Amino acid sequence: MSKLSEPRGGRLSVSLRDAARGGAPVAGACIRPLDGKSYVSGDRSEPLRRETIPEMMAATVARFGPRDAAVFSATGERLSYYDLDREVDDLAAGLLALGLEKGDRIGIWSPNRKEWLLTQFATAQIGLVLVNINPAYRLSELEYVLNKVGCKALVTADRFKTSDYVGMVQTLAPELADCKPGKLRAAKLPALRIVVRMGSEPTPGMLAFGDLMRLGGPAQKLRLPGISAALDPDEPINIQFTSGTTGSPKGATLTHYNIVNNAHFVTRAIGFTEVDRLAIPVPLYHCFGMVMGTLGCVSKGAAMIFPGEGFEPGPTLAAIEAERCTGLYGVPTMFVAMLDHPDFRKFQLGSLRTGIMAGSPCPVEVMKRVVADMHMSEVTIAYGMTETSPVSFQSDVDDPLEKRVATVGRIHPHVEVKIVDGEGQVVPVGEQGELCTRGYSVMRGYYNDAERTAEAIDAGGWMHTGDLATLDAEGYCNIVGRVKDMVIRGGENIYPREVEEFLYRHPKVQQAQVFGVPSERYGEELCAWIVLQPGQTSSEEEIRDFCQGQIAHYKVPRYVRFRDELPMTVTGKAQKFLMRDAMIEELGLKAIETA
């Protein structure tokens, strides 16, 4: 896998837009496909940052110390950058006092809380590798990820909604009941020594987070600058487990260099400065929250606004109004929930200017409503994946609306993308193929999983995303589905995303997912699962009649089912394999075996 190692540099001299519109040439950039081939390379006029997370934080604190850094609307907690810096130092000193050293893995298992934010920056300051654990995980998944990466420490919430985090840790490690904090020896979790719990309630074998904040003394505080200065940007600092739409989770290993640069370029694209205030209802355990969100804000000195521990449309809208947010992040289902909130019209959202919709494909109609009804005239779409830190494509704030609603924008700086066919050959412009990414943003690999790393990253350093995409002549990318999602019905290739986009035109449809189910006659047939708008009713016949004559007959779903909700990952990705399995069971079908 190739790695870029360029010196830090100054400001962008020629923007990506200017280059596209005939401005001065940008060395090494090829944001429009050449020779009719689906290959693009991002702007390189601003060098990549050879910078660690603590170096970036220190520079921001020096420039913007008194400004708001973080606001937690649910608890009323507010931190300036000076405050955040002091509390991060306290936590980092406490972690050193526990005997943790650079390279040790430390898990974080919690919804969006102040403790999450502090842990993110304190671990980075001393070179600990933060392991993000999905708050929705249960016993078997927690056991798997802790052992997969050999976590020495775990910071956990007490509970959230139906999740009793402390109880689950005690179930996996009953030895906690009889051990001193920091001295765990658990049969099922052999690497784990330290469990830190949030909240003030005493728990046998666990250290309270507040006590950890007070654990470090002058000796540990004096060590902090030297440890931070010795960190290298190319060192791993974060392991993010993939959402798990199929198979066991994989731990994507990311470096300072990966995520510092992606955070910078993502927020540069939406014109962020220290005067901006970003609402972050997306989960911190995911790249969207902790790279594009927290690191992105720190890279500019902007304020991070956390509406709550988990996403709720009402509190998010209230936080935007109360904090005069200028930006908002979310997956499409979050925007749908806010737009459809019964009190939506009562909220004053005029402060909003920009934001990002990402995490899963954005329906065109939803994007139009966000621009029109939420005042987000400069909203952008971003595309990427955890394994690429995450963003590879992003639309620009002044791209024509039709480009922002129909594409994921153009190539990000310092990134290459090609679209290839099944034989690995670059396809002509406009043709569909698998999107492959190469550059500084590509992960180190999946932790302790050489086989799956080799499957994902080829010998040339290209990350194979598994996404089907097209590039147009101007370099705009459109994601049309997943390679594995493509349905072949009687020899016809059907891309579910196209059918889903059509179904969103129906006024009663709030959400739609289309997938294939086995068919003895055709190999596969289409099935649509639909969530209707509140108060609406419909039927299979109505949906099929809506499609007839508007899309090709073989694209009309054979089966239509209405559901109150769809199975999704926390980041809004549809778990189509669960829908497919449910339909196979309901219809009594058998999967068709193929070569």
Q: Are 325 and 348 in contact (CB under 8 A)?
A: no
| Cβ within 8 Å of residue 101, ≥6 positions away | 127
Task: For residue 25, give both structure tokens.
Answer: 């040439």
Q: Which residue has the tokens 């494909």?
A: 361
Q: Which residue has the tokens 């480009």?
A: 403
| Cβ within 8 Å of residue 312, ≥6 positions away | none
DSSP for 204-237?
TT-EEHHHHHTT--HHHHHHHHHHHHT--TTSEE
Q: Are 185 and 175 in contact (CB under 8 A)?
A: yes
CA pair distance 160, 138, nearest whole angstrom: 12
Q: Which residue has the tokens 């052999």?
A: 190
pLDDT of 361? 66
Among the listed residues 528, 538, 456, the one whose alpha carbon sits nearest the alpha carbon of residue 497: 528
pLDDT of 135? 87
CA pair distance 373, 387, nearest whole angstrom: 33
CA pair distance 44, 30, nearest whole angstrom: 10
CA pair distance 211, 94, nearest whole angstrom: 9
Which domains, and CATH codes, for the chain? 82-241 (3.40.50.980), 492-587 (3.30.300.30)
Among the listed residues 291, 328, 284, 347, the one whose alpha carbon sits nearest the alpha carbon of residue 310: 284
Query: Residue 469 forms beta bridges with which residues?
Result: 433, 479
CA pair distance 136, 160, nearest whole angstrom: 10
Segments in the chain below pLDDT 50: 1-26, 244-246, 592-595
pLDDT of 519? 87
